[in-house]
Structures are given as structure tokens and as C-alpha cells.
């Protein structure tokens, strides 16, 4: 399958990736290979087969509505690149 420049550009935007021209060419090849591999499935007739989202026949795994977690802010914020006033401090963002 041929991947166009437009597709790589669009996927790059969605994934927030800034690729060099060289990387773009490589990505085009990689993506093409992946899609070719998966397109093997198109050979099968899936007309009456229900779409599957899980490999195991498990359903209805629930949790009771009981608070089990306490305040673990210190540990949680330990993963933050920047922290201030008990908050994650990130580059300014707008709606």
C-alpha cells in the first residue's frame, strides 16, 4: 500500500510528532509494511462475524462504589516534570 506525503503529514499532526524529511520517508515505508501485513485479513470473509474487541470471553468486571484510595499526592506528583502548589505545572494551554 502506498502512503502519501499528505497521510504522513496528517498522522504526524495527530500524533504530535515532528519528523525530518528522512524520518518521514522511513515512516512511510514502515506504515506501508504494517498495513500490507494487516491487509492479509481482507482475504477472509467476515460478513457475519461480530467485531471483536477482546481476546478473552470475560464480561461484567465491576468494582463496588467504595473509596479505597487515600491522599497519595506526594507520590503522584513525584512523576511530574514540574510541580507547583500541589499541581502539575505545564506549558500554558488554551481551549
Partner 1 sequence: MEKTYETVIGLEVHVELATKTKIFCGCSTEFGGEPNTHTCPVCTGMPGSLPVLNKAVLEKAVAVGLATNCNITRKGKFDRKNYFYPDNPQNYQISQLYFPICRDGKVEIDVDGEKKFVRIHEIHMEEDAGKLVHDSFTDTSLVDYNRSGVPLIEIVSEPDMRSADEVIAYLDKLRLIIQYLGASDCKLNEGSMRADVNLSIRKKGEEKFGTRTEMKNLNSFKAIARAIENERERQIDIIESGEKVIQETRRWDDEKGYSYAMRSKEDAQDYRYFPDPDLVPIIVDDEFLDTIKRRQPELRDEKRIRYRDEFNIPDYDIDIITNSKKMADIFEETIALGAEPKKVSNWLMVETMRLMKEHDRDADDLSFSAKNLATLIDMVDKKVINGSVAKEVFEKIFTEDIDPEKYVEENGLKTVNDEGALTKTIEEIVAANPKSVEDYKSGKEKAIGFLVGQTMKAMKGKADPGEVNRILKEILSK
40 binds partner 1 (CB under 8 A): no
Contact flag: residue 59 with partner 1 (CB under 8 A): yes
Exposure class string for 30-40: b at 16+ Cβ within 10 A, else e = eeeeeeeeeee
Task: Return the number of the residue (16 or 40) whose C-beta is nearest partner 1.
Answer: 16
DSSP 16: T
Shortest distance, position 64 Cβ to partner 1, whole Å: 6
Helix (H) or strand (E) holding 83: strand 83-84
Set of cell numbers at residue 24: 518521514
Residues in touch with partner 1 (CB under 8 A): 14, 16, 53-54, 56, 58-69, 71-73, 76-77, 79, 82, 84-95
Amino acid at each position: 500500500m502506498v502512503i502519501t506525503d499528505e497521510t504522513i503529514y496528517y498522522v504526524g499532526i495527530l500524533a504530535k510528532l515532528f519528523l525530518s524529511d528522512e524520518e518521514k520517508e522511513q515512516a512511510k515505508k514502515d506504515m506501508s509494511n504494517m498495513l500490507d501485513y494487516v491487509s492479509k485479513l481482507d482475504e477472509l470473509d467476515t460478513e457475519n462475524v461480530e467485531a471483536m474487541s477482546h481476546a478473552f470471553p470475560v464480561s461484567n468486571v465491576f468494582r463496588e462504589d467504595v473509596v479505597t484510595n487515600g491522599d497519595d499526592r506526594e507520590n503522584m506528583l513525584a512523576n511530574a516534570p514540574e510541580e507547583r502548589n500541589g499541581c502539575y505545572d505545564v506549558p500554558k494551554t488554551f481551549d
